[in-house]
Amino acid sequence: MKKRLIGLALSAALGAGLPVSPSLALEPLHTMFDDVPVGEWYTTGVTTCANEGIMIGDGNGLFRPEDGLTKAECGMLALRLHELLHWGDGILEKAPEDWGELTLTLADGTVLTSFGREAAPLPGVAGGSFAFDWWSWGMMGHVTANNLQVALRPDPALDREGEGYSAAQEALSQWGKAHEGAATVTVGDVTIPGTVNCWRPTGTWALAFHPDEETDGAEEILRASLYAPDRDCWWRDADHYRFQQGLDIHFFDGQEVSTRAYFARCLALAAGELPAAVAVDDIPDVDRESDPEIYMLYETGVLNGMDGKGTFAGESSLTRAQAATMAARVLDPDQRVAGDIPTPLPADG
């Protein structure tokens, strides 16, 4: 992929604690969005993020600065910023088409393939189906190792109280026990050897897959594939990039409106180590031990709170204007806040 030289230069400058080109921080004579006036506290931040391609408007000439960001949008912004700082253009590469597809090959050559947790027909059992899932505890609360599970399901049309349902469960039990033994799970170009055993963790039978102990990272690979977004999900590429980079940013609850604290944690992961510039002894509503990354953002001048006391208001909803201001301060040291807390306005939102 072609990388923009400005991204490479920016990454190097931030890593060395050097100033970035002042052109990023210039106050525009006009803005590209009809609802972002010149001279507002967020104008330069919005312009910086738009110019770098990590935040865009609604396609109709509006940025909607007071709208909230969902957690998925925060994750997307943070990951674009991470890519820009570390690789160069803020564009997240397309996730492989087969990411999320799991293939279990049993000892007798039987192959079970499905995407994520989608159900598929179970070969050899009339009306039966299977679906991959994850299991972390057993019956009666007995704790077991984390396992990839293959739920063996009877025909959903069967009456649970009827004889046919009992017979179907018995058939699933016999099928599962006949397939115990050596097995492999293939995810993309990675094949993980292990074994399977048949058990009944809840209402139906299942095959539990146990990777060989010497297979490094098997759990992470299997989990990531199992919970991969659908192929048409708009944050699929971002989630794959997150997995590749080992970043603790997740999209499970992506449709919730983000808080300032959630975005700050994502931003800290994207920014990495930045040079400290501000002395911060205490943030009124943030515990240093619980949220060291928020203190880091204050100490580097990326955050300075919502008032002259430096109050963070972490549980408040995040606006697009606030997110752009924070992200731009990561990109451009000239936009960061100087001086000890308490600081005067403008705050970060």
- Residue labelled with tokens 């990590």: 54
Q: What is the pLDDT of residues 16-35, one digit of tens each?
A: 333 333 334 445 556 789 99
Instruction: Please answer whether residues 293 and 264 qualify as being in contact, where contact means their C-beta atoms are separated by less than 8 angstroms.
Output: yes
Find out whether the peptide bond into 346 is cis, omega within 30 degrees of 0.
yes
- C-alpha to C-alpha distances, 3 to 7, 86, 205, 235, 237, nearest whole angstrom: 7, 11, 51, 22, 18
In this structure, the number of other CB atoms found within 10 A of the CB of residue 190 comes to 13
For residue 138, the model assigns a pLDDT of 52
Q: 150: which strand partners?
A: 132, 207
pLDDT of 214 over the 90 cut: no
β-strand 181-187 against 101-106: which pairing, if any?
antiparallel
Q: What is the pLDDT of residues 56-98, one digit of tens each?
A: 888 899 999 999 999 999 999 999 999 999 988 889 999 999 9
For residue 163, the model assigns a pLDDT of 87
Q: What is the pLDDT of residues 125-156, one digit of tens each?
A: 999 999 999 987 655 455 456 789 999 999 99
Q: Which residue did the predictor score with more confidence, 94 or 278?
A: 94
Mean pLDDT of 168-191: 96
Query: In sequence order, which residues have a C-beta less than 8 Å from that of residue 311 and are 6 or more positions away?
Result: 283, 284, 285, 305
Burial class (CB in 10 A: 0-12, 13-18, 19+), 107: middle
Confidence label for 311 from pLDDT (cuts 50, 70 and 90) = very high
The C-alpha atoms of residue 128 and residue 139 are separated, in whole angstroms, by 23
Which one-letter amino acid corresponds to residue 181?
G
The C-alpha atoms of residue 325 and residue 328 are separated, in whole angstroms, by 5
Q: 143: which strand partners?
A: 137
Q: Which long-range contacts (CB under 8 A, 24 or more apart) does 181-186 make?
A: 181/106, 181/107, 182/107, 183/104, 183/105, 183/106, 183/107, 183/209, 184/104, 184/105, 185/102, 185/103, 185/104, 185/105, 185/148, 185/209, 185/211, 185/222, 186/102, 186/103, 186/105
pLDDT of 14 over the 90 cut: no
- Residue labelled with tokens 């995040």: 318
For residue 47, the model assigns a pLDDT of 95
Instruction: Determine the angle formed by the axes of helices 43-52 and 320-331, rounding to 10 degrees.
Output: 70
- The encoded tokens of residue 65 equal 């600065």
The C-alpha atoms of residue 274 and residue 14 are separated, in whole angstroms, by 7
